[in-house]
Structure 1
Amino acid sequence: MADRLVADGVVERLAAWGVDRVFGYSGDGINPVLGALRRAGSPEFIQARHEENAAFMAVGHAKYTGRVGVVLSTQGPGAVHLLNGLYDARMDSVPVVALVGQQSQTVLGSAYQQEIDLQSLFKDVASGFRQQVNSPDQAPMVIDRAFKAALATRSPAVVILPHDVQQEPAPELEHEHGVIPSAPLWSRGTVIPQDQDVHDAAALLNAGSKLALLVGQGARGAQAEVAALAEKLGAAVVTSLLGKLYVDETMPWAAGTMGHLGTSASGWAMANCDSLLIIGSNDPWTEFYPPPGAARAVQIDSDAKAIGNRYPVEVAVTGDAAESLRALLPLVHERLGWRGEVERHVDAWRTLSEARAFTAASPVNPERAIRELNGRLPGNAQVAVDVGSCVYWYARQLHLPPGVPAHLSSTLASMGCGLPYGLAAKLSAPDRPLVVLTGDGGFQMTGMAELITVSRLWKSWTNPVFAICILNNRDLAEVSWEQRETESEPRFGDSQELPDVDYSGYAKLLGLDGERVESADGVGPAWDRALAADRPYVLDIRTDADVPLLPPFPAGQELAKSMEEALETEGNSHALELLREYVRLEAESQPRD
Structure 2
Amino acid sequence: MTTVAEQIVTALADLGVRTVWGVVGDALNPVTDAIRREERIEWIGTRHEEAAAFAASAQAQLSGTIGVCMGTVGPGSLHLLNGLYDAKKSHAPVLAICGQVPSAELGAEYFQEVDNDAVFRDVAAFRHTVTSASQMPRVLEQAVQTAYATPGVSVLTLPGDIGSAEVAKDSAVHITRVPARLTPDDDEITRAVRLLDDAKTVTMLVGAGARESRASVLQLADRLAAPMVLTLKAKEGLEDDNPFQIGQSGLIGNPATREAFESAGALLMIGTDFPYPDWLPRSTPTVQIDTRAGHIGRRTPVDVGVVGDAGLSIAALLNRVRSKDDRSHLEKARSSYEDWQGHQRRLTDPEFDQSLVGKVRSWLDNTEDKIRPEALATLIDTHAAEDTVFTTDTGMSTVWLARCVTMRGSRRLIGSFNLGSMANALPHALGAAALDRQRQVVAFCGDGGLTMLLGDVLTAVAYDLPVKLIVFDNGRLGMVKLEQEQGGLPEFGTELANPDLAAVATAMGMPAARVTEPEALEAAVQAALASPGPYLLDVVTNPEEIALPPKTSIDQAWGFAIAKMKEGIVSRGAKS
Same fold (TM over 0.5): yes
Deviation at 1:107, TM superposition (A): 0.7
Structure 1 counterpart of 2:136, from 139, 143, 148:
139
Residue 455 (structure 1) aligned with residue 461 (structure 2): yes
- Counterpart for residue 583 of structure 1: none
Deviation at 1:556, TM superposition (A): 5.0
User: The residue matched to 1:160 in structure 2 has which SS?
Assistant: strand
Unaligned segments of structure 1, at least 5 residues: 175-180, 576-593
* In structure 2, distance between residues paired with 1:365 and 1:9: 53
Deviation at 1:282, TM superposition (A): 0.7
* In structure 2, distance between residues paired with 1:428 and 1:286: 36
Structure 2 counterpart of 1:111, from 85, 109, 124:
109
- Counterpart for residue 53 of structure 2: 55
TM-score normalised to structure 2 length: 0.92
Deviation at 1:173, TM superposition (A): 7.7
Structure 2 counterpart of 1:157, from 154, 159, 168:
154
- Counterpart for residue 342 of structure 1: 333
- Counterpart for residue 502 of structure 1: 500
Residues 116-515 of structure 1 aligned to structure 2 (within 5 Å): 116-126=114-124, 128-171=125-168, 183-290=174-281, 292-293=282-283, 295-335=284-324, 336-337=326-327, 338-358=329-349, 360=353, 361=366, 362-446=369-453, 448-458=454-464, 464=466, 466-486=467-487, 488-492=488-492, 495-515=493-513
Deviation at 1:431, TM superposition (A): 1.7
Amino acid across the alignment from 1:242? K
Contact 2:218 2:244 in 1 (8 A): no
* In structure 2, distance between residues paired with 1:249 and 1:273: 24
- Counterpart for residue 37 of structure 2: 39
Contact 1:13 1:140 in 2 (8 A): no
* In structure 1, distance between residues paired with 2:457 and 2:569: 35
TM-score normalised to structure 1 length: 0.89
* In structure 2, distance between residues paired with 1:471 and 1:402: 25
Structure 2 counterpart of 1:69, from 67, 70, 73:
67
Deviation at 1:536, TM superposition (A): 2.2
Contact 1:101 1:162 in 2 (8 A): yes
Deviation at 1:76, TM superposition (A): 0.2
Deviation at 1:508, TM superposition (A): 2.7
* In structure 2, distance between residues paired with 1:58 and 1:172: 28
Amino acid across the alignment from 1:135? S
* In structure 2, distance between residues paired with 1:344 and 1:129: 49
* In structure 1, distance between residues paired with 2:178 and 2:294: 21
Percent identical residues: 33
Contact 1:211 1:236 in 2 (8 A): yes
Amino acid across the alignment from 2:110? Y
Amino acid across the alignment from 1:490? P
Deviation at 1:573, TM superposition (A): 9.7
CA gap 1:508/1:130 in 2 versus in 1, 3 angstroms: same
CA gap 1:161/1:237 in 2 versus in 1, 3 angstroms: same
Deviation at 1:521, TM superposition (A): 2.9
Deviation at 1:172, TM superposition (A): 5.9
Amino acid across the alignment from 1:199? T
Deviation at 1:500, TM superposition (A): 2.5
* In structure 2, distance between residues paired with 1:258 and 1:408: 17
* In structure 2, distance between residues paired with 1:343 and 1:256: 10
CA gap 1:556/1:401 in 2 versus in 1, 3 angstroms: farther
Contact 2:391 2:415 in 1 (8 A): yes
* In structure 1, distance between residues paired with 2:246 and 2:505: 38
* In structure 1, distance between residues paired with 2:559 and 2:264: 28
- Counterpart for residue 586 of structure 1: none
Deviates more, 1:564-573 or 1:216-225: 564-573
Contact 2:512 2:535 in 1 (8 A): yes
* In structure 2, distance between residues paired with 1:393 and 1:402: 20
- Cα deviation code 1:26-58 (max 9, x no counterpart): 111211111111122332211111000000001
User: The residue matched to 2:381 in structure 1 has which SS?
Assistant: coil
Contact 2:23 2:45 in 1 (8 A): yes
**Alpha carbon RMSD of aligned pairs, Å?**
2.0
